[in-house]
């Protein structure tokens, strides 16, 4: 049994190798570029993109510098003098 399998395998290999055919040669034509064709028409304008996301709120700014001192106001009108009224102001040094 062992020798019959080996003998069959050798006979198959010899039979297949005897049927070898030469490879067919196919000539492939080489493409030769021709002159350039005319320019195509301009394409249509694309659609507008979507609006982007809103940005985050910025940081709070620093405190501004102190302002300058304002101008001195105008001097007021002189007051009226008292009529015949005399005001006596007691002295804080009372002698006893």
pLDDT band at 5 (very low <50, low <70, confident <90, very high): confident
Tokens of 8: 């069959």
Q: Where is pLDDT greater, at 2 or 68?
A: 68
Q: What ranges in the chain are assigned the alpha helix state H? A: 2-18
Question: Is the pLDDT at 26 greater than 70, yes or no?
Answer: yes
Distance in angstroms (rounded) separating the CA atoms of residues 39 and 42: 9
Distance in angstroms (rounded) separating the CA atoms of residues 9 and 15: 10
pTM for the model: 0.23
């Amino acid at each position: 049994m062992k020798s019959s399998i080996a003998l069959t395998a050798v006979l198959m290999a010899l039979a297949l190798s005897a049927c070898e055919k030469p490879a067919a040669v196919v000539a492939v034509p080489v493409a030769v570029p021709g002159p350039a064709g005319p320019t195509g028409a301009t394409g249509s304008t694309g659609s507008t993109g979507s609006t982007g996301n809103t940005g985050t709120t910025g940081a709070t700014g620093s405190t501004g510098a102190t302002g300058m001192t304002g101008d001195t106001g105008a001097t007021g009108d002189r007051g009226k003098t008292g009529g015949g009224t005399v005001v006596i102001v007691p002295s804080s040094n009372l002698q006893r």
